[in-house]
Amino acid sequence: MAEIILRDLWKFYDDVEAVRGINLDIAHNEFIALVGPSGCGKTTTLRMIAGLEDITAGIIEVGDRIINDVPPKDRDIAMVFQNYALYPHMSVYQNMSFGLKLRKTPKDEIERRVRAAADILNIGELLERRPKQLSGGQRQRVAMGRAIVRDPQVFLFDEPLSNLDAKLRVQMRTEIKKIHQRVKTTVVYVTHDQVEAMTLADRIVVMNEGIIEQVGTPEEMYDAPQTLFVASFIGSPSMNFLPCQVEAENGGLAIRLTDNLSFAAPPDRGDRYSPYIGKPMLFGIRPEHISDKRPHTEPTHLDFTSDVVVLEPMGIDTMVFINVGETEITTRSRPRAVSQVGEPMDFTIDMAHMHLIDPESEKVV
Amino acid sequence: MSSGEATLTASDGRALVLNKVPVWRQRKSMANYIALLPYVFFALFPFYIMFITSIKSDREINNLGQSPFWATGVATENYAYLATNTGYFEHWMLNTFIVTVASTIISVTIGTLAAYALARLRFRGVEIFGVAVFISYLVPQTLLFLPLIDVINTIDDYVPIRDTYWSLILTYPTFLIPFVTWLLLGYFKTIPVEVEECAYLDGCSRLGALCRVVLPMAMPGIMCAVLFSATLCWNELLYSLVFIQDETAKTLSVGVITELIRGDIYYWGSLMAACFTAALPIILVFAFFMDYFVSGLTAGAIK
């Protein structure tokens, strides 16, 4: 149970800069998800917290103690690895009790804690089995059980669900959330799957090329991304981006997408957007904010018509692909309201959820 | 389900007849066995000749009118000769056993530590070091024994080791350690590093993780190394021929060729009896550890 502080953390591998000066404060009992594409430095950061990688520069504090030079065995940190990393020559019980035995915990205490953790994870009947006799999901549970019994200050997860099939992954995701609610402790969870990050974390840290792009709650990440990268990374299907120009129009501002398509910008954003009049900008809007035409009263809801290019039924919604200028964009409609492929269809766009991005700085303005 | 009886029932309750193995599949497995026959013959024929000759009397061996491929009776005189007239059992076999066990323990211990270091630690020149180990394994024994004579003589000035099995215990590791290191290097690389890292986080030091987690996982590879180096020691000829002259200090391989071949006279009966007896322990060990052996070879040595 502890807070973690990362200060100006750097990691070089020879010439490669894996982590480039990140700062992060993780609160006591907080569930933090580090998310980003492969090679963004998230796993390296996690391994530095664990003590499995040396720190090139900067400081890591766990619970008011600088742990830069503390060996992994004395950090009181438990980690769940992507490939489970179970000890193949030990039974499940031995796997789970290994850490406690090394710390000279009394035998009855070990027994009590292993049983309790096994109950939480529903692996009570598997305690005598060897790892090779378990299925993927069961191994995953044992790997978590091994971490839970130690009752560590910090829990680290390194893409723990990526080796499971899709159905089991969703199931285990819920399990992890439940476990965190029961076993309160600080969690750092690395994943490349933004859905996992959104569903599990109290706060999300999006990393890219060794730096932190943005830190925030899942809602902030979704509603108010600060950079082009975060805007495109968070959300599934991902946000549409279109080249646009900001124009003055009828005393307000308008976003011009093509010669004959432009939408009035939300009235309250006049001050924010006016410096960018005439510059080439990027317009961002999520698929769910362009729907089939619906009755509306808000001034930010605007209608337009376009030909359907491709339909992708998803069950609850149908993704409708349309062309705006030369760019194909995704929209989300009710299944009954869509037109046939090649035919025109009426849409409503909610401009209150638009984002304007400066392509030079790649920042959302 | 009782064995052999068709007790499976169809959905309507009829008894189902079990399908026969199709003819093409039977033919295929027959072809596999036939393909193995030449190999089996080739591998076992020397043992057969060895055994059949060892149970013949001298008169039968020297009778040119009789086929050498089978025996007319069983004679134990060759084995009796070995036991009574030579140091076969009380000296040669015992010496070989001591040298094999000692050299193997030394070599596997040092080789395991070296292989672990080369597989896991990242220090300057680790690649070159690994290649150097491999190259030193390639240096032929027939060259190495010359400088080793000098080494043994120098040590002998202080501690008397020449003409004792100590000279062999000291020199066998020169070719065993590189071999064991090279064999286990590949094996350690197949052990996932995360398991070891997990042991660190669970509270192990590097040595603790090595002993409690890595070595148990590497057991097939280590057993493989033990068996190979024991076999190499047991069969070694050159060093023991060079370093040992005393009859009671000889090992099996040297004892057999120096005591049972006199000039151009071959005591075929006792020679074959000695070879057959000497081969038995190795055959037994391999037979018992075959499972370990196979998994060790496929999982580590080949990579």
Question: 3-state class of A224 per DSSP?
Answer: coil
**A82/B194 CB distance under 8 A:** yes
Percent of residues, chain A, with pLDDT higher than 90:
72
Contact criterion met (CB below 8 Å) for A209 and A193: no
| Residue B199: per-residue pLDDT | 94
Å between B200 CA and nearest CA of chain A:
5
Q: What CATH number is given to the structural domain containing B215?
A: 1.10.3720.10
Task: Using CB atoms, pick whichever of B194, B197, B203 lies closest to residue A99.
Answer: B203
Q: Does residue B43 fall inside a structural domain?
A: no
| Residue A348: per-residue pLDDT | 95
**A51/B198 CB distance under 8 A:** no
**A51/B200 CB distance under 8 A:** yes
Cα A67 from Cα B268, distance rounded (Å): 74
- Cα distances (Å, whole numbers) of residue A246 to A86, A321, A350, A354, B229: 57, 25, 17, 13, 79
| End-to-end Cα, chain B, rounded Å | 43
Burial class, B206, CB count within 10 angstroms (exposed 0-12 / middle 13-18 / buried 19+): middle
Å between A213 CA and nearest CA of chain B:
29
CB < 8 Å from A in window 163-222 of B: 192, 194-195, 197-205, 208, 212-213, 216-217, 219
Residues in A touching B192 (Cβ below 8 Å): 83, 85
Å between B278 CA and nearest CA of chain A:
36
Q: Does residue B273 fall inside a structural domain?
A: yes
Task: Name the residue of chain A whose CA is nearest to B220's CA.
Answer: A89
Å between B105 CA and nearest CA of chain A:
23
The beta strand positions in A37-76, using DSSP E, are 57-62, 65-66
Å between B114 CA and nearest CA of chain A:
22
| Residue B294: per-residue pLDDT | 58
**A85/B208 CB distance under 8 A:** no
User: Which residues of A lie inside 8 Å of B (Cβ-Cβ)?
Assistant: 50-52, 71-73, 75, 77-79, 81-83, 85-89, 98-99, 102-103, 146, 150
Strand partners, A20: A10
Q: Does residue B262 fall inside a structural domain?
A: yes
Substitution target in A62, A98, A114 with the highest count of B β-carbons within 10 Å is A98
**B200/A78 CB distance under 8 A:** no
Cα B111 from Cα B99, distance rounded (Å): 17
Q: Does residue B8 fall inside a structural domain?
A: no
Task: Using CB atoms, pick whichever of A51, A71, A98 lies closest to residue B202.
Answer: A98
Cα A344 from Cα A305, distance rounded (Å): 7
Helices first, then strands: H and E counts in chain A: 9, 21
**Which two structure tokens, joined as six digits, stand for A144?**
């978590």
Task: Using CB atoms, pick whichever of B194, B201, B216 lies closest to residue A72.
Answer: B201
Q: Does residue B269 fall inside a structural domain?
A: yes
Residues in A touching B211 (Cβ below 8 Å): none
Task: Using CB atoms, pick whichever of A73, A79, A88 lies closest to residue B205.
Answer: A73
Count of domains in chain B?
1
Task: Name the residue of chain B whose CA is nearest to A96's CA.
Answer: B202
Give the residue carrying structure tokens 């292989």.
Answer: B115
Task: Using CB atoms, pick whichever of A50, A77, A87 lies closest to residue B195.
Answer: A87
Report the mean per-residue pLDDT for chain A. Answer: 92
Per-residue pLDDT of chain B (303 residues; tens, 9 = 90+): 444 455 788 888 888 888 888 889 989 999 999 999 999 999 999 999 999 999 998 888 888 888 888 888 888 888 998 888 888 888 899 999 999 999 999 999 999 999 999 998 888 888 898 889 888 888 888 888 999 999 999 999 999 998 899 999 999 999 999 999 999 998 898 888 889 999 999 999 999 999 999 998 888 889 889 988 999 999 999 999 999 988 889 999 998 888 888 888 888 888 999 999 999 988 888 888 777 655 544 443 322
Torsion, Cα A173 A178 A183 A186, to 10 degrees, reads: 50
**B192/A83 CB distance under 8 A:** yes
A237 preceded by a cis bond (ω within 30 of 0): yes
| Residue A281: per-residue pLDDT | 93
Residues in A touching B198 (Cβ below 8 Å): 79, 81, 85, 87, 146
Residues of chain A with pLDDT under 70: 1
Domain encompassing residue B135: 81-299
Q: Does residue B66 fall inside a structural domain?
A: no
Q: Does residue B125 fall inside a structural domain?
A: yes
Q: Does residue B201 fall inside a structural domain?
A: yes
Residues in B touching A132 (Cβ below 8 Å): none
**B200/A52 CB distance under 8 A:** yes
Cα A182 from Cα A178, distance rounded (Å): 6
Cα B242 from Cα B147, distance rounded (Å): 12
| Residue B297: per-residue pLDDT | 44
* pTM, 2 dp: 0.81
The string of pLDDT tens digits covering residues A196-226 is 999 999 999 999 999 999 999 999 999 999 9
Residues in A touching B204 (Cβ below 8 Å): 73, 102
Helix ranges (H only) for A19-135 are: 42-50, 92-102, 107-121
